Structure 1
């Protein structure tokens, strides 16, 4: 990975995440375009539908609502994709499950922005 490409990595803040429901292909396109500097070699896909489905199945990410992904899904997917470079999916899942017990939309936005910073 080239240093200048990594400098281009710009994770969107909460306010910059789409505030409308997205289908899986839109989620993949959005996240992969933002995380492209993390791709390796010629492979430009960082996140796949299989990965998302696995994260949902293992309760790392909440299931979509009627096949729609919301802003909080995107936030969690960005967190998972960045953290999995340092932590196992089991560890990430444990952290997210603990955090998810606190249902407070304002806290999610605030804490996500802290994470991005």
Structure 2
């Protein structure tokens, strides 16, 4: 399999869409089943779990979710869990809690427009995917050109290794910038 095949096989557009979330409240097992059915393409291997009862309970105990009523989860709970799932790939649970604090701690009478925010997030995900594909293809071309011009490095291993290192470096830069945003805008300044 070549690198572009891997890119096309990634299923980058995997997110739970707003219209895929029922308007009725769900029990925990139903929430887990929804996540498994919609996000299973993101698993690295079959043993990996997208969402578990322990995770949901920890999110609730850690106050990353709105209060749960009658052991049922609303559309807003599922949206929050989807955002948490997305954020936890790069951020600590504490950073996620800080970033969600304004949503979670909004007075009940001031309904936060969570569905609208999530809709904008989903639209931005589509833009991100398109940008990622374009940048990734350019990165492959740049690395191939560098290796082809080099007199010492000239194997497929070096091309793949440089690509791996560059992607991890980019990931680290994005994560660090995300952490700086949290430190600057989502924590209380003393």
Q: TM-score surpassing 0.5?
A: yes
1:40 Cα shift?
2.2
- C-alpha distance in 1 between matches for 2:8 and 2:51: 21
1:68 aligned residue: 72
Deviates more, 1:85-94 or 1:59-68: 59-68
Q: Any idea what SS the aligned residue of 2:26 has? A: coil
User: What displacement does 1:9 show?
Assistant: 4.2
Q: Contact (CA 8 Å) 1:36, 1:44: kept in 2 or not?
A: no
Q: How big is the shift at 1:90? A: 0.4
Q: Aligned pair 1:51/2:50, yes or no?
A: no
* Equivalent position to 2:111, from 101, 104, 115: 104
Question: RCO higher in 1 or 2 (8 Å CA, sep ≥ 6)?
Answer: 1
Identify the structure with the greater helix proportion.
2
In 2, distance between residues paired with 1:26 and 1:56? 17
Looking at structure 2, the residues matched to 32 and 9 of structure 1 have their Cα atoms a distance apart, in angstroms, of: 15
Match of 2:120 in 1: 114
Which ranges in structure 1 are unaligned for 5 or more consecutive residues? none
Q: What whole-Å deviation, never above 9, does each CA across 1:35-65 have from its counterpart, x for those lacking one?
A: 1122121225211000000000000112321
What SS is found at the alignment partner of 1:28? helix
C-alpha distance in 2 between matches for 1:26 and 1:112: 21
1:5–1:37 Cα contact (<8 Å) kept: no
Count of aligned positions? 115
Encode CA deviations 1:57-105: one digit per residue, 9 max, x unaligned: 0001123210111100100000000110011110001111123344425
Q: TM-score, normalised by structure 1?
A: 0.86
- Which residue of 25, 28, 31 maps to 1:24? 28
- Structure 2 vs 1, CA of residues 43 and 3 (structure 1 numbering), >3 Å: closer, same or farther? farther
